[in-house]
Amino acid sequence: MAGRRRASRTVLSLVLLLAVLVGCGGGAPSDTATAEVQRVLDRRASALLDRDEPAYRATGQPAAVDAEFGNLRDVPLAAWSYRLTELRRSGDLATADAELRYRIKGYDTAPVTAARTLRLTRSDGTWYVTSDEPAKEASEQMWEQGAVRVVRGEHSLVLGVGQTGERLRAYADLADRAVPAVSNAWGTDWSGHVVVLVPKSLEGMAGLLGAPASGYRGIAAVTTGEAGGSAKAPADRIIVNPDAYGVLGGFGKQVVLTHETTHVATRTHTTPATPLWLSEGYADWVGYRGSGRTPAQVAPELVRAVAEGRVPAALPDDEDFGFSGEAARLALAYEGGWLACRMIADRWGEVRLNDFYRAVGDHEKRAGAVEDALRDVLHTTPEEFTAQWRDYLRAQLG
């Protein structure tokens, strides 16, 4: 029995040894597709930055490269790279998930990132890109909507698709007036320039935002960028809805661009602790500052509410600012936030208003942010401030 057990152990040892040897050098060679695809993407990025069209063409089939290279021809790029995150391969076909990182020269201090899905095919041992599209639920990029026309302003860069150079120059002129107006109100602790994206239509705007067009139908422009950005974050993009923006008069167009530019300037101090009545109200305050427009001209919905004895009991909630909600409710929210900021500037001064904005945004969390800033900067309480605001509405609009 002992001999048999020794023989069994010997056979088992030989089997295990054979398994180890096969695992080390006797199996199929490892799949190098991931490294090969990453190299193709690296060559593609370098060719695009170098404006080397033949080299770019060599990374993909014509239908997949012609439009992108041509559409980006005039965009001043400082960086462009792909980071492959996952590759799913079936024979000579593959689907890649990648993170695109790019910077616009002179405007982005850090890369803008975009999730991409690329499809590739292998021919004669070489991988080629056949399509490069936004990942599921990711937003489109400007160049995917057509050839990008570029107009430079003194403080702005305007990128447009389906727009004339004359029309884009008008946007640049508005942005160039907005930037110094914002710096005069807020200060100069920001980049002092903006990037404005002007798609062909509302649908193009929605594509850039990765959202349904219905939610932005009456909105003239929005500013991208998450709250809580750092000083190293890329400049926000102001995205225009040409359908809604186009029906505004000259004054309205300027107010909108100044409002959105204010969001760019205040971004590093706008955090999850900042309520929308403050961020939107402050942007409107800067937009209308020095215009000579009266509260009754700027806040018609609140004029109506005050006249009917419906003075709001509290400052607007974040939910009141939803684009897809009732138009009157949205107008009341913006007007209420604007008048709250205007009241602070009138009673405590513009310096205190800026200090209050920064103090709220610098708070670690939403809870207590406004309360602490009211106490520390304005030396009041939420109850007293709300009562003063309601009295201010009656005095200014009654």
> Is residue 228 scored above 50 in pLDDT?
no
Options 3.10.450.50, 3.90.1150.10, 1.25.40.10, 3.40.50.300; CATH of 33-138? 3.10.450.50
Cα-to-chain-centroid distance, residue 326: 25
Stated as kind and residue range, the H or E segment containing 385 is helix 382-397
Beta-carbon contacts of residue 218 (< 8 Å; ≥ 6 apart): 244, 323, 327
The predicted model scores a pTM of: 0.87
Backbone angles phi, psi at 73, to 5 degrees: -55, -40
> Which tens digit of pLDDT belongs to each residue from 42-73?
999 999 999 999 999 999 976 656 678 899 99
Residue linked to tokens 């689907």: 95
> Is residue 378 scored above 70 in pLDDT?
yes
C-alpha pair distances (Å), 163 with each of 20, 220, 331: 65, 16, 30
Could you give the residue range(s) of every CATH 3.30.2010.30 domain in the chain? 140-268
Q: Is the domain defined by 140-268 classed in CATH 3.30.2010.30?
A: yes
Could you give the residue range(s) of every CATH 3.10.450.50 domain in the chain? 33-138
Q: How confident is the model at residue 215 (pLDDT cuts 50, 70, 90)?
A: confident
Specify burial of residue 13 (Cβ count, 10 A radius: 0-12, 13-18, 19+). exposed
Q: Mark residue 292 as left, alpha or beta (left: phi above 0; alpha: psi -120 to 50; beta: remaining).
A: left
Q: Which residues pair with 95 in a beta bridge?
A: 88, 119
Q: In whole angstroms, what is the distance from residue 4 CA to residue 23 CA?
A: 28
User: Residue 17: its pLDDT value, please?
Assistant: 32
Q: How far apart are the first and last CA of the chain?
A: 107
> Which tens digit of pLDDT belongs to each residue from 288-316?
999 999 999 999 999 999 999 999 999 99
Q: In whole angstroms, what is the distance from residue 96 CA to residue 93 CA?
A: 10
Backbone angles phi, psi at 238, to 5 degrees: -90, 120
Instruction: Residue 183: count other Cβ atoms within 10 Å of its Cβ.
Output: 16
Q: Are 356 and 277 in contact (CB under 8 A)?
A: no
Instruction: Residue 394: count other Cβ atoms within 10 Å of its Cβ.
Output: 10
Tokens of 159: 């990128």
In this prediction, residues 328-338 reach a mean pLDDT of: 95
